[in-house]
Amino acid sequence: MMKTGLWVAAVACALVVGWQPVRGQQTAAESHGVVVGNMDPAVKPGDDFFRYCNGAWLRKTEIPADRPSVSVFATLVDKSSQRVRGLIDEAVAANAPAGTNTRKIADLYKSFMDEAGIEAKGLAPLEPHLKEIAAIKDKKALAFALGETLRADVDALNNTNFHTENLFGLWVAPDFNDSEHYAAYLMQGGLQLPDREYYLGQSERMKNLRTAYQAHVAVMLKLAGFSDAEARAAKIVELEHAIAEKHLSLADNENVHNANNPWKRTEFAAKAPGLDWAEYFRGAGLEKQESFLVWQPTAFAGESALVGSVPLETWKDWLAYSLIERYPNVLPKAFADEEFAFFGKTLQGTTAQRPRWQRAVGTVNQQLGDAVGEMYAKQYFPPESKARVEKMVANIEAAFRKRIDALTWMDPATKAEAQAKLNTLYVGIGYTEHWKNYAAYEINADDIFGNLWRGSLYVYHREVGRLGKAVDREEWTMTPQTVNAVNLPLQNALSFPAAILEPPFFDAKAPDAFNYGAIGAVIGHEVSHTFDTEGAAFDSKGRVRNWWTPADLAHFEASTQKLAEQYDTYKPFPDLAVNGKQTLAENLADVAGIAASYDAYHAALAGKTPSEQAGFNGDQQFFLAYGQTRANKPREGSLRQQVMTDPHAPSEYRTDTVRNIDAWYPAFQVKEGEKLYLSPAERVRIW
């Protein structure tokens, strides 16, 4: 997604601009369906469906100074953030007993908001850790120190904190080859900028960003009391550039088959020489872990070689800088201001920092997500909403079953495996039934740095403690207050948190046509991930296994290539195009999800004629709902970063993918010669 660490976590949790209708028009909540005032009827649907749905909204909506973009998703993030703040206020007022979740929530929030206390402590929280780094005397000690920084802060299949600040990242998940037990996955890391291309790109923009980044590194080192900051910064950026050269691209990372690389702990020294792996694993507390899955073997070999070849002092400076970058929001204000100046203002074009309370809410969500989520679910997700969404899920799953049965290109044996995946699919609605236990996480009301330091270790030890144990197929990776949805292919599971099951995505008072086009398309999207370029690599038990006949796989790959080529043609900027390979899995999920949700909607009608809304028939409402819930307006820097680092295409092109859906054409009388028109033979149909 974005740069990892507290600043981005706070931003990600606090993009709190609402779904802004044109002034004087109905809001989505008032209309309970299509917001006519947000449309631009002067635009032909067949020329630009995104602007037909959202043109007036785009014209009237201004991006607030403290945000990189505005979107419909932000409506719900705003609502969730305000609700969580209310729950935190209740926790603070409760003065609950020490050790309870309520007290932990209150104390963590208080500690983040204690700006005077943070300023008074100055660099004191950092100093013991910086002294430990300064005391490193040789490459053996360096390896141990690098191991100590390992954290369980990545998720390979959901692009979570993908570019960890640490040299490598740990992901604990079901084993590719033994899906009944948790395994240790190791991921490439070591970069602060959002992606390898920020280091390697040769455009003037990228060169200027690297110059600004090096200046930022120098400022952060100066603030932490380092001498010769400019010279040290130059070497740090040079090292990160060398690391970036070893990294796989995001598109290459998504090939799961290439990631299935079991290494014994004793093999690392031969396969990736340069780093003292025995010391590294001892520092990480993994000296007894017998095996790992290495996602990017070439990156591990390359980064390990750099440990052996780059001078010790450069690595020590890199460790110190990486440490500082993890904690800017909980150090004196000058650190947070400088962090925002580069990563917010320069990189994304955001001109004002988020209010501290919103960053505090983001931190509480990040550190105590389930503790807050349990309260959130009880208060804000009624049983009737859960029941209605569960019915929609059942209808969409049924639509997928019919679509699979009707495929003419798929062998019966492959169909049977696909149906088995649907039959064993776990779908979580609203919230988990297995809340995390925070008893081992110590939180003090006057120690925000320590709270976050202990929090990262708590998560790491919790994850390491699961290695080799039986997999919980119903585990959630998102909290109820998260505005998102997820497919977990290694568990053959989906999760739809409560916070996205709100208007405008799900509205109990809206027509079925709107709900199926809005949240139904999201549900269909996640179900279809079960069969996309990534999900298709896993069987019904979550194992990496080829369950396709050669002919079926060839047809599937040819069809997916067609969609990748379609997206390659989209250029948000003259010098930057969408990467069809990088975004392929998400684009496939959009096409299949819309198609299945459309089928489910018509099945739910049971032959009845849907009522019109504002002159739009049911099919038109369905597609307009999909388009309007994709409304998004980004700053240039934010959009460029998304195109380069996100597996999702920009919202404009995700909206216009309706051009691959046959039913969209008669719904809006789209004809040959219009810009989005595709002949029937050119439309991508897979599921």
Rounded Cα distance between 85 and 101, Å, is: 15
Is the bond into 504 cis (omega within 30 degrees of 0)? yes
Rounded to an integer, the average pLDDT of 49-68 is: 95
What span, in angstroms and rounded, lies between the C-alpha atoms of 311 and 138? 10
Q: Of 23-37, 238-252, 363-377, 631-645, which gets the smallest average pLDDT?
A: 23-37
Is-contact 541 530, C-beta < 8 A? no
Confidence of residue 30 (pLDDT cuts 50, 70, 90): low
Tell me the angle at which helices 312-326 and 127-134 cross, rounded to the nearest 10 degrees. Answer: 170
Which residues lie below 8 Å from residue 430, measured CB to CB, with a gap of 6+?
377, 381, 385, 386, 389, 480, 496, 497, 498, 501
Q: For residues 568 and 17, what is the distance between their CA atoms, to the nearest angstrom? A: 31
What is the value of pTM for the model shown? 0.91
* Sign of CA pseudo-dihedral 331, 334, 335, 337: positive
User: Counting Cβ atoms within 10 Å, is residue 343 exposed (0-12), middle (13-18) or buried (19+)?
Assistant: buried
CB 414 within 8 A of CB 455: no
What is the per-residue pLDDT for 159?
56
Into which CATH architecture does domain 139-326 fall?
A: Orthogonal Bundle (1.10)
- Alpha-carbon distance of 597 to 595, in angstroms, equals 6
Of the listed ranges 37-46, 246-255, 271-280, 419-428, the least confidently predicted one is: 246-255
Q: Which residues pair with 292 in a beta bridge?
A: 263
Q: Where are the domains of the chain?
A: 139-326, 387-432+480-667
| Token pair 């003090």 in the structure block, residue | 444
For residue range 341-394, what is the model confidence (pLDDT) as tens digits? Answer: 999 999 999 999 999 999 999 999 999 999 999 999 999 999 999 999 999 999
Grouping H, G, I as helix, E, B as strand and the rest as coil, residue 516 is: helix
Least confident of 33-47, 153-167, 256-270, 355-369: 153-167
| Amino acid at the residue 292 | F
Residue 160: pLDDT band (50, 70, 90) is low
- For residue range 103-143, what is the model confidence (pLDDT) as tens digits? 999 999 999 999 999 999 999 999 999 999 999 999 999 99
- CATH superfamily for 387-432+480-667 is Collagenase (Catalytic Domain) (3.40.390.10)
Among residues of the chain, what percentage have pLDDT more than 90? 87
Q: pLDDT (tens digit, 9 = 90+) per residue, 69-81? A: 999 988 889 899 9
What does the pLDDT read at residue 24?
31
Distance separating alpha carbons of residues 532 and 592, to the nearest angstrom: 9
d(CA 32, CA 500): 16
Instruction: Give bridge partners of residue 173 from the DSSP assignment.
Output: 183
Sequence-ordered list of residues with C-beta below 8 angstroms from that of 38, at least 6 positions apart, any chain: 21, 22, 25, 53, 54, 55, 56, 57, 628, 631
Report pLDDT for 12: 31
Banded pLDDT at 95 (limits 50, 70, 90): very high
For 19, phi and psi rounded to 5 degrees? -70, 105
Single-letter code of the amino acid located at 498: A
Q: pLDDT digit string (tens) for 458-496?
A: 999 999 999 999 999 999 999 999 999 999 999 999 999
Q: Is the pLDDT of residue 586 over 80?
A: yes
Cross-strand pairs, 71: 632
> What local confidence, expressed as pLDDT, does residue 471 receive?
96
Residue 29: pLDDT band (50, 70, 90) is: very low
Length of the chain (residues): 687
Q: Give dist(CA 174, CA 155) in Å, integer.
A: 12
Residue 270, pLDDT score: 98
pLDDT band at 534 (very low <50, low <70, confident <90, very high): confident
Residue 27 has pLDDT above 50, yes or no: no
**Residues whose CB falls within 8 Å of the CB of residue 192, separated by 6 or more in sequence, listed in order:** 3, 163, 165, 213, 240, 322, 325
pLDDT more than 70, % of the chain = 94
* Among 334-338, 407-411, 506-510, the range of highest mean pLDDT: 334-338
Q: How confident is the model at residue 164 (pLDDT cuts 50, 70, 90)?
A: low
Q: Which residue has the tokens 């049965």?
A: 405
Tell whether the model's pLDDT for residue 253 goes beyond 80: yes
φ, ψ for residue 353, nearest 5 deg: -80, 150
Quick one: average pLDDT of 616-641? 97
